[in-house]
Structure 1
Amino acid sequence: MSSPETTSPVNPLPPVIVALFLSMMAIEVIFQLGARGLAGGPGAIGWRNSAIQTYGFNADLMAWMVQNGRYPQEHLMRLVSYIFVHGTFTHALFAGAMVLALGKFVGEVFSQWATLTLFIASAIGGAAAYGLTAGSGQPWLVGAFPGVYGLIGGFTYLMWLKLGQMGERQARAFSLIGVLLALQLVFGLLFGGNSQWLADVGGFIFGFVLSFFLSPGGWAKIRAKIRRL
């Protein structure tokens, strides 16, 4: 039994989630310092736009790679690097907060490396889905939200399992993603939207499916089911 003096009232955040959050915030701080003339000189005002074009992901680039059968490393790198570049400070702040909240929930069940893999792989899958379905002329894809939606996929998987164990309707596990997509639709109708929601949906689908393999004992359970077929 742990003594009251040594038991923390709050479960610590997984270190990989803290590292992701700090990496995103550090880059955003650099952009803010440059925009305010506190670092980098006059050219620093354009750091964010330059980073978006250098590290962001673009559907036209994806189309070019598929059509030509060429996949340069500097473009494949964008499938991951776009996560760490955000369009605005508010964009980065909301994404970082959701990474912390959902990463903590998923990380309490998944291993650290499984949680990181879930986030990164979902972000890659979301970007690929965006690149293959968005069409030409769409804006640059930047920010951590496709990876966040992957964590939502992990959260949904855990709720789906829990509801099944309780004998309740497992469809209720999809309530969160349903609400979020409905909000995106409303904001899109009110303020205008683009096809970046495709990356979020792709990230969620990848996250939910990957959770079957990344959850504790997940791959072993799948192999056991295959053997029983």
Structure 2
Amino acid sequence: MLFVRYENWKSYLRYYPITTIIFVANIIMHLVVTFNGGASDPNTLLKFGALTNWDGYNEWWRYVSSIFLHGSFSHLLFNDFAILVFAPPLERLLGAWRYSLLYLLSGVIGNILSVAHYNRIGEALLTIGASGAIYGIYGAYLYIALLQRNWMDDSSRKTVYALLLVGIVFSFASGTEEFKVNWVAHLGGLVCGFFVYGLMARILKRRIKRSGHN
């Protein structure tokens, strides 16, 4: 099973440094927000990097900073658990910098599409969370499950399909009037992760072939 972790904490930190950094960064930023007004205060969220389409808050860095903010402890717990369990195999497969690129790019693309969508329908947007980036990880696994089937066992493949099914239902059927799930970021991250991983896989395959001929 691809997603079962057997390492102790010391080995985990050594094998998956980027995953560990992301995990810890999410916790630190949540604590910072909590002790400076709380995530229920929009002004506090904006102060620490939430993404919005409101006038006067169109800084480019918000597309990145908002990925590390969360609206509640349960929001943080859910996302950090997903990162802790599902990210390590992908980091090991791609290497630190490619995995970092896929994660951040998926989150940013999800955010860009979110702003574009809410601007198009004329609604205000204030969004935070790592879900777009996490769905990028799921998108990479979907590519592996569909197009690199020999790289993934049946149990792991079924887990990916189940994750996506639950994720789709959660994205469209969950949330309240105060806290709506940003399904656009989820979908954007998923599609981005699928295609970015596919591109990376092709590049790596070509390099391996070239090195084999040398």
Q: TM-score, normalised by structure 1?
A: 0.70
> What's the counterpart of residue 100 of structure 1?
84
1:187 to partner: Cα distance: 2.4
User: Does structure 2 retain, via aligned residues, the 8 Å contact 1:138–1:194?
Assistant: no
> What's the counterpart of residue 212 of structure 1?
198
1:200 to partner: Cα distance: 0.7
Q: TM-score, normalised by structure 2?
A: 0.75
Give unmatched runs, 5+ long, in structure 2: 208-214
Give unmatched runs, 5+ long, in structure 1: 1-7, 35-43, 65-71, 224-229
Within 5 A, what are the aligned runs for 1:144-183?
Answer: 144-163=130-149, 174-183=161-170
| Aligned mate of 2:20, from 13, 18, 21 | 18
Residues 220/94 of structure 1: CA separation in 2 closer, same or farther (3 Å cut): closer
CA RMSD of aligned residues (A): 3.2
**Local SS of the residue matching 1:75:** coil
> What's the counterpart of residue 52 of structure 2?
58
Within 5 A, what are the aligned runs for 1:113-192?
Answer: 113-134=97-118, 135-163=121-149, 174-187=161-174, 191=176
Alpha-carbon separation, structure 2, partners of 1:31 and 1:113: 28
1:155 to partner: Cα distance: 1.6
Alpha-carbon separation, structure 2, partners of 1:198 and 1:85: 17
User: Does structure 2 retain, via aligned residues, the 8 Å contact 1:51–1:85?
Assistant: no
Alpha-carbon separation, structure 2, partners of 1:139 and 1:29: 23
User: Does structure 1 retain, via aligned residues, the 8 Å contact 2:90–2:99?
Assistant: yes
**Local SS of the residue matching 1:109:** helix
For residues 96-115 of structure 1, the C-alpha deviation after alignment (integer angstroms, 9 at most, x for no partner) is: 11112221121231111111
Give the fraction of aligned pairs with identical amino acids, expressed as a percent: 20
Residues 109/57 of structure 1: CA separation in 2 closer, same or farther (3 Å cut): same
User: Does structure 1 retain, via aligned residues, the 8 Å contact 2:19–2:83?
Assistant: yes
Alpha-carbon separation, structure 2, partners of 1:178 and 1:222: 33
Alpha-carbon separation, structure 2, partners of 1:155 and 1:85: 24
Within 5 A, what are the aligned runs for 1:26-45?
Answer: 26-32=28-34, 34=35, 44-45=36-37
User: Does structure 2 retain, via aligned residues, the 8 Å contact 1:60–1:131?
Assistant: no
Alpha-carbon separation, structure 1, partners of 2:189 and 2:6: 32
Structure 1 segments of 4+ aligned residues over 6 angstroms from their partners: none
Which structure has the larger Rg? 1
